[in-house]
Each structure stands twice: as structure tokens, then as C-alpha cells.
């Protein structure tokens, strides 16, 4: 009995010694935030002067430089709610697929806590945003604390703690340093853009550190109560989960002949651009009296004659399916899920190159052909690119065909046909909407088909995205077990 008690005391002693300094830091961060909150709420004069003085100085320094403002806005978006929610959501889904429900719960609880603390404290303090001479940043709501600074501190810190075990020891310190730099830069951009005071950002950092420390400490206590060793936070939350949280730990190499593949893709890209240029120039300027000319004249005119307010609205929203934001969102959700399920980078590389090639081929061919829009009312107004080929249609075709190419051979379940159907229905709907709105000719649609068929065909031949399936690779979660993913969250909240 004494031996058992001693065995239980030993991990508790190690835990106490190891976390005493960490607890002091957490308590110090919490106390620092409390003091700063009181000073802001009471409008302490020295702090007021520093906040407003720095805001005015930075606005005078930054506002005249447009490129610098663009860079600051790009950096600040890394702490925006859209990016943070996407990162955490994708990570949670991946952890559930890998059956790491405890880590998923940690991310959910930590993230939700930050989402609750930010608006609650903003309402409590009710502090106005800085009033600068030249407004250069957009904002909504109150000022204290900075939501971007708080969200980035909590989200990036939590993700680092979860995925740190997947990194080799030599990369852990650089990863910690990188996260610290990103969080610092996000906070700095909020001040430089004139949307937050210095104290808003400092308060957010202190609150974020305190909240992240509390949740990490609670996670370690949970491990201790179940008799598991409690590692130092520099080792991550669960070092034994290193294999499961690593993106593709079993992949020895990405491509067998990477140099040859690069040259094949470059040569193929040039030849495809040539084919698009040739077809585009023909249908744009040399197809008079042919079937193509009749088609490009009659179809846009017919759509224009049959417009109604209801159809205008419907076509507007269907066109959005093929815009940059929708395609990027689909890609950024699909690729991490594929990586989590099949533990291979090659399918992700296939999809990424598909979209990069589509964008570059579209921009190059559109600039070279420089085709005018159809001579009917253009419901979307002037566009920065020419008519041939359709970027919306090409992007929709490429993303859904690439997804179908990846998914179809990897499962025998009936729902794989849904992806094949999407590869037909989604681009067809976008094509009809774009022609209805007077933005494209039918041959622009044909150009998008040529681009998709040639580019994806080339990538499939060079990358061979499903080679791992042929070699016998099995998914981390079987298709018939997909409906059980929600159970991982319930299991994580129960004792072993």
C-alpha cells in the first residue's frame, strides 16, 4: 500500500515542481490583465496619454505609405476570426479523424473561451476606438481588448501545444519562435492600422496567455488524475500522440523523380497555354460565319431577353460558387481532411497544383487573348480580366474534378458518386449563370473545359495522386466509421 501511495506521489511531485513557474506566469498574466483593465476603465491619465500619443504617431508614420498599409492589412488578417475559426475547425476535424478526441476538446474549449471573453469584456469596458487623422483600418465594436491579438495568442498557442510533439526536437524552438513572431506582428498591425490602442493589445496578450495557461494546466491535471505522466509544455500536451497528430509520418518521399516532374509540368503548362491561346484567338477574332460565331451571338442574346429579377438574384448567388473566396474555402477544407484521412501529401499537392495552374493559365491566356465581353448588358459590370476563358467556370471545374479524382478511387461507398455529380452540376450551374449575366460567351466555357481537361490530365500523369491507394494505403478512419466521429468528443469527456 505504501508503494502505491509513493508511486502516486511521485508524478504529483514532478508535476508540482514542473508547473510551479508556469502557474506563477499564468497568475501574473491574469493579475497584469486585471490591473490594466482597471487603469483603462478609470482612464488613468499616463496610460491615456501613451495610448493616444502612440496612435497619432503611428498613423502619421504609416498612413502615407499605401504598400505598407496593404502589407499590414494582410498580416492582420492572420488574426481575423475567419482565419482563426478555419484553422481551429480543420484541426479539430483532423484530430477527430485521427481519434484524438481529448486534444480536439482542448482546442474547442480554449477557442470557445476566447470567443466568449472578447465580446464580454469589450461590452464591460465599453472603450471607443482610436480617433486618428487618416483612418486606414476597418473595425467594428469596442476597443478593449483587441480581438485579433487575443484570438491569435490563444489559437496559435493552442495549436502549437497540440502539434508540437509531431515536430522533431530541432524544429520545436524555431516553431515556438515563429508563433511568437506571428502573434507579435498581428498585435502590432492592430496598433499601426489605428484600430487599437497599445493597452488594447497588451491586455489581449495578457488575457490570452492567462486563458491558454489555465486550459493547458487543466489538461495536465486531467492527465495526472488518470495516472499518466505529465510532460513539460515544451514537449506539447500529449507527446505519445506524436504519430497521430503528424500530418504524414509514414511518407518517405513526395515524388520519385521531382526534378523530372518539375520540367514536365513547365513544358506541359506552356503547351496548354499555347492550345488555349490558339483556340481563344480563333473563336474571338477569326470564327466569323462559323458555328462558334453563331453560338457566341445567339446564346448571350437569348439569355439577355429572358432575364427576370428572380433569375438575376439566383444567377448572382450561383456565380458566387465559382468566385475566388468560395474556391479557396473549398480547397482549404478539402486538403486538410484528405491529409488527415490518408496521411499522404501527394493528393494535397495534386489539388494545390491544380488550382495554381488553373489561376496562372487563366490569367496568362486572358491577357494574351484579350477578348471583349458579350455585347449585351453585363450584370456584374466591368471586370479586370477579359472574357476568354471564364475564370469562374475554370476554377469550379478544376476544384470539383480534382476532388472527384481523389475521392472516387479511395472508397467504395455510394456517396463517392456525389463528388462525380458535383464535378458536373457545379460548373454547369456556374457556366449557365455567367452566360445568363452576360459575362461570357459559350466558347469561353469551352476554353475552361479545355484548360481543365489538359491541365488535370497532365497533373494526373505526372503526380499520380492515387499511387498510395494502388500500393495499399488504408485511411486512418474507414468510410463506414465516418458517422462515429462525433462520439470522439463524448469519449474525451469521460474517464478512461
Q: What are phi and psi of 58, to 5 degrees?
A: -65, -40
Residues 155 and 182: their CA atoms lie apart, in Å, by 12
449-496 tens-digit pLDDT: 999 999 999 999 999 998 877 776 667 655 444 444 445 445 544 544
d(CA 51, CA 56): 9
Residues in contact with 314: Cβ distance below 8 Å, sequence separation at least 6, in sequence order? 433
HSE-up of residue 196 (Cα within 13 Å, Cβ side)? 25
Instruction: Give me 344's grid cell.
Output: 499522404
Amino acid 477: pLDDT: 57
pTM: 0.77
Q: How many C-beta atoms surround the C-beta of residue 376 within 10 A?
A: 18
Judge contact between 157 and 179, C-beta under 8 A.
yes
pLDDT of residue 20: 58
| Dist CA 109 CA 112 (whole Å) | 5
Distance CA 23, CA 76 (A): 30
Categorise residue 343: left if φ over 0, alpha if ψ from -120 to 50, beta otherwise.
Answer: left
Q: What is the DSSP secondary structure assignment for residue 240, as one 8-state letter?
A: G
Number of alpha carbons in the 13 Å side-chain half-sphere of residue 475: 22
What the block records as the C-alpha cell of 447 is: 476554353
C-alpha cell at 157: 498557442
- Predicted confidence at residue 476, as pLDDT, reads 62
pLDDT value, residue 8: 42
Grid look-up 499616463 returns: 46
Cis peptide before 416 (omega within 30 of 0): no
pLDDT, position 23: 66
Residue 5: exposure state from Cβ atoms within 10 A (0-12, 13-18, ≥19): exposed
Concatenating the DSSP letter of every residue in 318-375 gives HHHTTSHHHHHHHHHHHHHHHHHHH--SHHHHHHHHHHHHHHHHHHHHHHHH-PPPPS
CA trace torsion 471, 477, 482, 485 (10° rounding): -160
Nearest 10 degrees: Cα torsion 293, 299, 304, 307: -170
- State the pLDDT at residue 3: 45
- Which residues of the chain fall short of a pLDDT of 70? 1-23, 137-138, 249-253, 472-474, 476-496
pLDDT at 478: 53
Q: Hey, what's the cell of 420?
A: 462525380
Residues 6+ apart with CB under 8 A from 115: 151
CB 336 within 8 A of CB 96: no
Q: Judge whether 210 and 23 are in contact, CB under 8 Å.
A: no
Alpha-carbon distances of 152 from 32, 216, 228, 390, rounded to whole Å: 19, 16, 30, 37
Residue 389, preceding bond cis, omega within 30 degrees? yes
Amino acid at each position: 500500500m505504501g508503494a502505491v501511495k509513493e508511486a502516486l506521489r511521485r508524478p504529483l511531485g514532478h508535476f508540482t515542481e514542473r508547473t510551479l513557474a508556469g502557474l506563477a506566469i499564468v497568475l501574473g498574466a491574469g493579475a497584469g490583465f486585471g490591473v490594466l483593465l482597471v487603469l483603462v476603465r478609470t482612464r488613468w491619465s499616463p496610460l491615456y496619454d501613451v495610448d493616444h500619443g502612440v496612435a497619432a504617431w503611428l498613423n502619421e508614420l504609416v498612413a502615407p505609405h499605401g504598400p505598407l498599409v496593404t502589407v499590414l492589412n494582410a498580416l492582420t488578417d492572420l488574426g481575423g476570426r475567419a482565419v482563426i475559426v478555419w484553422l481551429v475547425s480543420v484541426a479539430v476535424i483532423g484530430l477527430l479523424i485521427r481519434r484524438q478526441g481529448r486534444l480536439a476538446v482542448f482546442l474547442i474549449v480554449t477557442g470557445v473561451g476566447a470567443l466568449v471573453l472578447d465580446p464580454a469584456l469589450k461590452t464591460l469596458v465599453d472603450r471607443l476606438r482610436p480617433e486618428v487623422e487618416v483612418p486606414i483600418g476597418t473595425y467594428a465594436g469596442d476597443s478593449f481588448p483587441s480581438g485579433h491579438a487575443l484570438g491569435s495568442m490563444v489559437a496559435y498557442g493552442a495549436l502549437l501545444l497540440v502539434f508540437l510533439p509531431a515536430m522533431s526536437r530541432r524544429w520545436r524552438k524555431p516553431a515556438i519562435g515563429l508563433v511568437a513572431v506571428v502573434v507579435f506582428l498581428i498585435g502590432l498591425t492592430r496598433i499601426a492600422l489605428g484600430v487599437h490602442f497599445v493597452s488594447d493589445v497588451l491586455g489581449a496578450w495578457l488575457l490570452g496567455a492567462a486563458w491558454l495557461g489555465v486550459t493547458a494546466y487543466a489538461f495536465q491535471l486531467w492527465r495526472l488524475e488518470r495516472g499518466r505522466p505529465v510532460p513539460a509544455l515544451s514537449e506539447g500536451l500529449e507527446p505519445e500522440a506524436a504519430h497521430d497528430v503528424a500530418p504524414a509520418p509514414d511518407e518517405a518521399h513526395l515524388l520519385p523523380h521531382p526534378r523530372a516532374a518539375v520540367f514536365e509540368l513547365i513544358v506541359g503548362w506552356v503547351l496548354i497555354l499555347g492550345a488555349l491561346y490558339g483556340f481563344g484567338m480563333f473563336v474571338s477574332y477569326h470564327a466569323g460565319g462559323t458555328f462558334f460565331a453563331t453560338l457566341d451571338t445567339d446564346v448571350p442574346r437569348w439569355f439577355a431577353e429572358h432575364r427576370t429579377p428572380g433569375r438575376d438574384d439566383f444567377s448572382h448567388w450561383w456565380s458566387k460558387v465559382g468566385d475566388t473566396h468560395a474556391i479557396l474555402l473549398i480547397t482549404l477544407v478539402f486538403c486538410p481532411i484528405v491529409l488527415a484521412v490518408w496521411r499522404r501529401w501527394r493528393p494535397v499537392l495534386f489539388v494545390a497544383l491544380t488550382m495554381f495552374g488553373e489561376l496562372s493559365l487563366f490569367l496568362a491566356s486572358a491577357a494574351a487573348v484579350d477578348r471583349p465581353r458579350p455585347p449585351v448588358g453585363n450584370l456584374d459590370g466591368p471586370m479586370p480580366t477579359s472574357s476568354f476563358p471564364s475564370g469562374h467556370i475554370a476554377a469550379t471545374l478544376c476544384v470539383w474534378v480534382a476532388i472527384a479524382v481523389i475521392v472516387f478511387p479511395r472508397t467504395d461507398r455510394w456517396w463517392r458518386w456525389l463528388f462525380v455529380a458535383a464535378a458536373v452540376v457545379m460548373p454547369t450551374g456556374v457556366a449557365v449563370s455567367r452566360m445568363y449575366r452576360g459575362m461570357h460567351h459559350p466558347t469561353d466555357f469551352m476554353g475552361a473545359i479545355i484548360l481543365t481537361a489538359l491541365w488535370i490530365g497532365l497533373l494526373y500523369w505526372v503526380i499520380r495522386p492515387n499511387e498510395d491507394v494502388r500500393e495499399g494505403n488504408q485511411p486512418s478512419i474507414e468510410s463506414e466509421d465516418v458517422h462515429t466521429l462525433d462520439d470522439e468528443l463524448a469519449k474525451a469527456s469521460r474517464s478512461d
